[in-house]
Structure 1
Amino acid sequence: MALAALWLLAAALAVRQAAAVLRLPPDERLSDLLAWIGDNGVLRARGSLYDGPTPFTGTPFAGLVLRPLTRAAEQGLGVAWTFGTLLLVAAVGVVAVRALPQPVSHPAARRTVLFAVPVALGLLMLSVPVRNTFHLGQTSILPVLLVLVGWLRLVDGERAGRVRAERVGGSAARSRWAGVLIGLAAVLQPAVLLFVPLLWATGRRRAALGTLGTFAAGTALAWAAMPADSWTYWVHHLAGTGLGDPADATANQSVHGALLRVGLRGPLETVLLVVLAGAVCWCALRRAVRYARDGQPLLAAAVAGCAVVAVSPTAWQHQQLWILLAVVGRVGRRRADRLVWPVFVVLVMSLDGDALVPHLPGLSAVAANAPLLAALLAACALPFLPRASPLWDAPERSGPLGRPNLMLELLLIRFGYWAYSYVRGHAPDARGTAEHHGSQILGIESVLRIDVEHALNRLTARTPWLEAAADFSYTTFHFLVPGVLLTCLYVRRPAEYRAARTALGLATLLGLIGFWLYPLAPPRLMPGLGYVDTAHGPQDLSDPDFGALTELSNQYAAMPSLHVGWSLWCAVVVLRVTRRPLLRTLGVLYPLLTTFVVLATANHYLLDAVGGAAVVAAGCWLGRRFTAATRAATSAPTEPERELGPEPAPGTAASSARAEARPTRKPPAAP
């Protein structure tokens, strides 16, 4: 069932990507491809490829290959191109999974491959390079696939272990075809030539020479067919530098783009770029050679590919697929540490930088260069584990009572807050429906005689000190108090931190479901009832576009009240972790104060507060069940422990027999 669910999710993502392109009008889908091959496209019009309002940005060889497509009808080409790109993405995913460092012949490894393929396809479909490829009609996936197939063809052939006579002939053929494939990729994307020294340093010199020969032949063919365009691309623009959008755009995640974004120009920028690019290439190639010899060919290719992204003059979003492949590297001693790098890479390659980094002035540069940072970390910095390491398959257990990895927690909290803001902002916000639900809530409260919002709001509006205190509390404590509690729990009570964080996350998720299913206008946005918006100022409800605040967030996300829910969570945490009377009293008073504040400022109804308490109660119950299940699973003995029983006393015969029965791990042989 889990495998079927993964494949269903991957298929749904693929259909979504195809539908996002095909549902557009023919003159709006595949914008870059249309600019190249449309009625007035640069590949159809006479003259240079690199002139005009929408110049061609690929190599002259790519233009030569694409020219025959100009005779195809746009609509048919759009459909064929979209589904052809889907097949290329699927091929990249399958090839990458088959290159994972486990023998596929092993039954457990085959099961891993079955589960890993749909996961890989899902990650590819969600990644920015693939999403932009579908929208723009780019050819950037093809060079990655050509390099992977050629590189892994060499590695698989060397692993085959055939007899010497077969190996001599087969090795030459494999090297020749691998060189042709990687050379074709270099003709389409010249920075791929960085794989030539990798081939040479790992002893695949015939393939390296084949790559150079294929690149030279393809470039010469394009030069003979289009000499003027070849001169423009290779000489005037220095291998395409300066073509397309400005190189200092945020989408260009190369070292060159980063230097331009910080304001460097002229000879100083050029010299610094050459020095940094040389250092990145030297470091990345040394690491890639080490991982290739260690039996991790996919990681070696990803490290070299990340260097390609960093040192290219322009590395646009659709050229950054190499960074996602670096997710296969294993980093860290503990199980929790292993998740930091994959989570970081997936978030960087799936979200905008602003979603990953808080909106603070000092962190704006990190947000603008997040993919480049990931590429540099993979290429030059992260100490990926070798296969001979005892931590490769047996990392140290974190345990349910241990302190979780701080970087992973920060990433997940930031992503959770971004998801919370996104869902809240995109929940249904039809004004009529929200006001109708507001009338329902007021009617129910009137029947129950608990409609106290109006009286509290009028009292607050005519009492200046009370209004100022309520507004300050509403805008300040909602994030501050839970943040302080989480920090204290993380430092002092890691076991309680895990349980409390899980309960808060589940409660917030339930709250988002409530926002989506039941859009509700708060009292301050109900027309004709006389409520005063003390926190945001007066609103002209007669204006159909009155909600200036709705441009920032969905103002109809009132049921349940997460202000009250989070404050109740704070009270539960304080009561559980301390026995001090003063702190426990403050903990109990805090949700009561918050309930008064949200009612007095006309931001919520009393039933919203009840809803907030309900989602927190449900979140705490679900979190307790989840924590109990996690502790039971982590405390269960592993398979070898079940088979061998408890550890005997050292020095006994049983201890010697146990040592002989325990499996040993041998380092992998160099390819």
Structure 2
Amino acid sequence: MALGALWVLAGVLAARLAAEVLRTPQEERLADLDAWIGPNGVLRHRGSVYDDGAFTGTPFNGLVLKPLTRAAEQGLGLVWTFGTLLLVVGLGVLAARALPEPVTRRTRLLAAPVAVSLIALSVPVRETFTLGQTSLLPVLLALGGWWLAWRGRAGGAALIGLAAALQPAVLLFAPVLWLTGRRSAAYYAGGTFAAATAAAWVAMPADSWAYWVHHIAGAGLGEPMDSAANQSLHGALLRLGLTGPLEIAVFLVLAAGVGYFAVRRAVFYARDGQLLLAAAIAGCGAIAIAPAAWQHEQLWLLLAVVGRTGARTRDRYVWPVFAVLVITFDGKDLVPNLAWLSFVSDNIVLIGALLAATAVPFLSRTADAWAKPAPTGLLDRPNILLELLLIRIGYRLYSYVRSFAPDGRELAEGHGDQILAIERFLHIDMEYWLNHKVASIGWLEASMNFYYASFHFLVPLSILGWLYATRPAAYRKWRASLAFATLFALIGFWAYPLAPPRLMPGLGYIDTANGPQDFDDPKFGMLTGVSNQYAAMPSLHVGWSLWCALVLWRLAPYAWLRWAGFAYPALTTLVIMGTANHYLLDAAGGAVVVAAGIFAGRGLQRALALSALTRAASGPSSSGPPDSSGRTAPDRPDSARQPERA
């Protein structure tokens, strides 16, 4: 049943990719493919295919694509889309087949749809579908060729050579083959690359000269080399401001160092039986040392999630979560929008590739922690990097989902009338009086605007930091309740879109941040377009402030602080009404989702505790770590342990 559900999910994601392409107007669909082989494509011209810089592939790539120009007007886009889908599925299945031993048959079966889903979600594949790129093919050829060559199968090395003819940096696999004792395969890979490149020189001599000599292996083609889309070392150095001979010299030195460590580590893990990880390390090295590594060429980083890191359970998920997030989201989604962090966000994929190729201490299969990492107790702190990643991406998803909640003006204003009617019936409709009172006192209006904009994230994050540093067990409990409360609030935004008082026309509420409401004011219209202004029920400002008060009530060391904590949600309730951002009933809704979040968090904690007790009752495994052939070996004395990391 689980296998079927995973394949359904993979199918839905793949269908979404195809639908996104097919819904695009014909003239905008598969822009790169059309620029190459369309009616006005560069591959139809008599001159050089590199004249306008639109074509970024190798001459061999152009040689392969040229025969397709006749079919470009006969539904090639449809065939290309579904052909690319098959490549995605093939790559996912191949990655599952290449998992390191020991792996049960069930794990391999489940790994295939998971891999397909992750590949379909990744930025490189989304770019491939949107633009009509060919970058999946070299990855599939190189990985398939690597897997076959390692097993001594004929043709494996030739596939690597063909992949290198399409993406020259893939030649980094050749020294890995050589150093692992597969010298004939290395010769065949290099020979195939040379033969394919020579064929392109014969058929397209001017284009080959332009690509290999004038543009130095494609550098300068496509987008500017210093654009954030180019995640190679060359692109990063240009973004740092280096130019000319100095930049080239620094790039060559760094590329040589990265290539050395990538090859060395790939050889180690290949000999250790981790073929997929070895290929991913070599591929990440290729990303870094290539003159240009565009978004559609960065899929190797995703394959590196197979590497296991961390001797403790709390550290085991840091690397795979980091790699998946980096290859799925934009760098600005993962890194705070601060000027001094802009270099990190602009080069996040390169940083991930460099870490995989040169630094991450992936475990050897002979390490004690490979199969049995040390458990994390309730009093142990979670991994701080993992927590920061999850908090950041959780906020990004929260903002994304909130922005797509229903925002129809008529519906939201109708719900606003309902809320006001209920409050009048209950004689609690105090928002108008309070809003005008605040707007009439300058210092109070400014203070409330600052409060509303500043404390919403600052206070909860500060309390989470305090819990993490001093009470790890409580941190897990209260973090879960906050996450559930936010999730329930998102459901409320979708189920009941509500216009806040400041967006209710004709009622006289004052937007204290922008002045009296005016739907014809362009500035106000721009504000409304920034995020969903109709996600008002429940009020998370009040919900999160109440969560903070409850944490202090349960855990604060001083009685006065426990009681003072409740001043925060009370003051927040006054602020949201005084600034005309919420109704009083929105505050009640915030309290409801926090209560629901606490109950859900407790349920999760009980489930986790029960699972831990079940595992403890089952007893430790009697088997030791796997031997070099992938079989489970008996436990060995400490003196016989092998080195754990490369």
Q: Give the TM-score category using the shorter length.
A: over 0.9
Q: Distance in 1 between matches of 2:172 and 2:348?
A: 23
Amino acid paired to 1:23? R
Deviations 1:592-623 (A, max 9, x none): 11111111111100110111111111011001
Matched AA of 2:149: L
Structure 1 residues 527 and 385, CA gap change in structure 2 (3 angstroms): same
Amino acid at match of 1:335: T
Greater CA deviation, 210-219 or 120-129? Answer: 210-219
What is the aligned partner in structure 1 of residue 114 from structure 2?
119
Cα distance in 2, alignment partners of residues 517 and 602 from structure 1: 22
User: Does 1:3 find its partner at 2:11?
Assistant: no
1:130 aligns with 2:147: no
AA of the residue aligned to 2:96: V
Distance 2:161 2:623 in 1: 44
Do structure 1's residue 668 and structure 2's residue 628 form an aligned pair? yes
Which position in structure 2 is the counterpart of 1:614?
A: 592
TM-score, normalisation: structure 1: 0.91
User: Which segments of 5 or more consecutive residues in structure 2 lack a partner in the other structure?
Assistant: 632-646
Aligned residue in 2 for 1:651: none
Match of 1:66 in 2: 65
User: Aligned residue for 2:93?
Assistant: 94
* Offset at residue 639 of structure 1 (A): 7.0
CA-CA distance at 1:633 after TM superposition = 1.1
User: Are 1:567 and 2:545 counterparts?
Assistant: yes
Letter aligned with residue 447 of structure 2: A
Shift of 1:473: 2.2
1:211 to 189, 214, 217: 189
Please tell me whether the aligned partners of residues 370 and 625 of structure 2 are also in contact (alpha carbons under 8 angstroms): no
Q: What is the correspondence of 1:67-466 to structure 2 with a 5 Å cutoff?
A: 67-74=66-73, 76-103=75-102, 109-155=104-150, 157=151, 171=152, 174=153, 176-466=154-444
Report the 3-state secondary structure (helix = DSSP H, G, I; strand = E; otherwise coil) of the residue aligned with 1:547.
helix
Match of 1:583 in 2: 561
Deviations 1:76-117 (A, max 9, x none): 11111111101111111111111111245xxxx111111111
User: How far, CA to CA, are the matches of 1:493 and 1:313 in structure 2?
Assistant: 48
- Which residue is equivalent to 2:32? 32
Report which stretch shifted further, 540-549 or 231-240.
Answer: 540-549
Instruction: Find the counterpart in structure 2 of residue 655 from structure 1.
Output: none
> How far apart, in 2, do the equivalents of 1:257 and 1:408 lie?
28
Contact kept, 8 Å, 1:519 with 1:556, in 2: the verdict is yes
Deviation, 1:363, is 0.6
Distance between the aligned counterparts of 2:451 and 2:577, measured in 1?
A: 12
**Conservation of the 8 A alpha-carbon contact between 1:400 and 1:634:** no
Q: Closer, same or farther in 2 for the Cα pair 1:603/1:501, shift >3 Å?
A: same
CA contact (8 A) 1:306 1:378 kept: yes
Partner of 1:457: helix, strand, or coil?
A: helix
Inter-CA distance 153–642: structure 2 relative to 1 (3 Å threshold):
closer
For 2:28, what is the secondary structure of its paired residue?
Answer: coil
Q: Deviations over 1:443-470 (max 9, x none)?
A: 1111121111111112222233433332
Contact map agreement 1:400 1:630 (CA 8 A) in 2: no
Q: Which amino acid aligns with 1:70?
A: T
User: What amino acid sits opposite 2:315 in the alignment?
Assistant: D
Contact kept in structure 2, 1:26 and 1:74, CA below 8 Å? no
Is the contact between residue 60 and residue 222 of structure 1 (CA under 8 Å) also seen in structure 2? yes
Following superposition, the deviation at residue 548 of structure 1 comes to: 2.6
Following TM superposition, by how much is the alpha carbon of 1:399 offset from its aligned partner in structure 2, in angstroms? 2.8
In the TM superposition, residue 642 of structure 1 has moved relative to its aligned partner by: 8.1
- Residue 574 of structure 2: which of 596, 602, 617 is its match? 596
> What residue number does 1:42 align with?
42
Provide the aligned length of Structure 1 versus Structure 2.
Answer: 631
1:226 deviates by 1.2
Q: Distance in 2 between matches of 1:575 and 1:98?
A: 53
Computed over aligned residues only, the root mean square deviation of the Cα atoms, in angstroms, reads 1.7
3-state SS of the aligned residue for 1:221? Answer: helix
TM-score, normalised relative to structure 2 = 0.95
Q: 1:45 to 1:591 in 2, by over 3 A?
A: same
What's the CA shift for 1:546? 3.9
Contact 1:293 1:670 in 2 (8 A): no
| Structure 1 residues 279 and 230, CA gap change in structure 2 (3 angstroms) | same
1:300 partner amino acid = A
Q: CA deviation at 1:476?
A: 2.2
Q: Which residue of 2 aligns with 1:502?
A: 480
Larger deviation, residues 39-48 vs 383-392: 39-48
Instruction: For structure 1, list consecutive stretches of 5 or more residues without a partner in the other structure.
Output: 158-170, 644-661
The amino acid that maps onto 1:186 is: A
**Secondary structure at 1:422's aligned position in 2?**
helix
1:428 positional shift? 2.0
For 2:642, the equivalent position in structure 1 comes to none
Using the alignment, how far apart are the partners of 1:521 and 1:558 within structure 2? 7
CA separation in 2, counterparts of 1:542 and 1:130? 42
- Cα drift, residue 49 of structure 1: 0.9
| AA at the equivalent of 1:505 | A
Letter in 1 for 2:191: G
CA contact (8 A) 2:365 2:626 kept: no
Q: Return 422-431 or 350-359, whichever deviates more.
A: 422-431
